[in-house]
Amino acid sequence: MVDSTSSSANQQQPPRSALLVHEILRCEPPEAALRLANESPETIASVLAELPTAKAVALLPRFEASLRATVLQSVGPEQRTRWLYNQQYPLGTVGRLMEPAVALFAPTGTVREAIEQLRVMVTQGFVSYGYVVDEQGHLIGALVMRELLLAQPGQLVRDIMVGRPVSLQATQRIGAVIPLVHRQLLPEYPVCDERGRIMGIVRGYALFEEQTLELSAQPGKMLGLDREERIRTAPWRSLHLRHPWLQINLLSSFLAAGVVGLFENVVAQMVAIAAFVPVMVGQSASTGGQALSVALRGLTLGEVTQERWRTMIRKECLVGIGNGALVGVTAAAGIYAFSVWHGHAAAGRLAFAMLLAMIVSTMLSSVVGAVMPLLMKQAGFDPATASTILVGGITRVLSIAAFLAMAQWLVT
């Protein structure tokens, strides 16, 4: 009776594991880890073994230390090494997503020998390409399966290989290699060390999945939200992640209030000036946000290098001047009508002050939005981290100062 029950349980386990695999493949790592956390270590190990290595590697660190140790103990040494060997590389690097390269061939082998070796290799992992290496492990070529199968059995591997294949380095940031892999869309890419020795492979989908996660996290990071924060994140953890940036935002508001205080006599003379300060602030914040979004997108996709920053800044400066002139005319007309309605004698000069201030503030806001990601990167921060808060705070101060200074110069 016991044997029958045990046999029945064993028959039910594979379908459950298969169901979990399908669920986990649709989840992001934080959600997937929560989904598996209540399963037995044996079930977790079974599921991870069926997942792509990169997915399993991303999930393991999210388990509690004791559970992770138990899961690792329940698998063989070869599987354990495969899951842990790339943990030495930082998050966000190619090496972190690396899988072992199993399809390695000598250049002097024949096609017949390579095909026989391949029969064994495909049982050890999914093979898209073969890689030709010398005795020291240096990558010298790639084997396309179609060419291998259509070649004459007696031909040498080096005669049918593709020489000097595209390769990545384990220490490269994923954002830095996206432009390369975007131009040459391949199922996988060999990963080499600085000496050209092959270390493993990285799947193309894993690179793009990681970059997609990075892009999806950008809007939150621009507002001071951490990439890992989710709906299920504990309240105190969310408070810890968000609150410091709100204090910085409050400080910029205090600075803006201080600027208004410096021009208190100007504000007191005309109601129109006080009424149109929010207009100036809102327009500048929107302009800075547009430039920031373009700069972050270009930086993430690798379209903007440090050499191109000056070109981008010049472009944003011109765009800011153009936008400022166009919206400045509308804003000037609005403040002119408002001033005439309230009987202000200096309505024309105030309108001209609004036009000039709008041009200056939108130009500065565009430049600040374009420069902020570079400054954050050089300071060692994620370029997207709370950039909206910082750009908004700086443009708030600049726009108020520009408007009130122009009004004081031309009106009072």
pLDDT, tens digit (0-9, with 9 covering 90-100), for 26-52: 776 677 888 888 888 888 888 888 887
Residue 375 belongs to some domain of the structure: yes
214 is a domain residue: no
412 has pLDDT over 80: no
pLDDT at 226 over 70: no
Q: Do 279 and 374 have their domain in common?
A: yes
Do 119 and 193 fall into the same domain? yes
369/241 same-domain check: yes
- The larger pLDDT score, comparing residue 316 to residue 102, is at 316
Q: How far apart are CA 208 and CA 202, in angstroms?
A: 11
Shared-domain flag, residues 391 and 273: yes
The H or E element that residue 225 is part of is none
Task: Output the domain CATH number for residue 322.
Answer: 1.10.357.20
- Same structural domain, 249 and 365: yes
**pLDDT for res 97:** 80
In a domain, residue 218? The reply is no
Q: State the residue range of the domain holding 193.
A: 104-204
Asked whether the CA dihedral 348, 353, 356, 361 is positive or negative, the reply is negative
Which residues, 6+ apart, have CB-to-CB distance to 174 below 8 Å? 92, 93, 94, 97, 207, 210, 211, 214
Residue ranges in 52-156 assigned as alpha helix (H):
53-59, 65-73, 77-84, 111-121, 145-150
Same domain, 351 and 264: yes
CB 86 within 8 Å of CB 97? yes
Q: What pLDDT score does 183 carry?
A: 66
Helix (H), strand (E) counts: the chain = 17, 7
Cβ proximity of 397 and 284 under 8 Å: no
Share of the chain above pLDDT 70, in %: 78
Decide if pLDDT at 10 tops 50. no
The domain tally of the chain equals 3
Helix (H, G, I), strand (E, B) or coil at 203: strand
Residue 209 lies inside a defined structural domain of this protein: no
Q: Render pLDDT for 48-98 as a digit per residue (tens, 0 to 9).
A: 888 877 677 767 877 887 888 888 888 888 788 778 877 778 777 888 888
Average confidence (pLDDT) over 298-323: 79
Same domain for 244 and 189: no
Comparing C-alpha atoms, which of 310, 295, 284, 315 is closest to residue 373?
A: 295
142 SS3 class: strand
- What would the two tokens of residue 133 be? 């290496």
- With CA atoms as reference, report the closest residue to 125 among 104, 110, 140: 104
Q: Name the amino acid, one letter, at 64.
A: E
Q: What is the DSSP letter of 171?
A: T
pTM of this structure: 0.50
Asked whether residue 217 is domain-assigned, the answer is no
Measured from the Cβ of residue 294, the count of other Cβ atoms closer than 10 Å reads 19
- For residue 43, give the H/E element and its range: helix 41-50
User: Which helix (H) or strand (E) segment is 169 a member of?
Assistant: strand 168-169
| Whether 294 contacts 168, CB under 8 Å | no
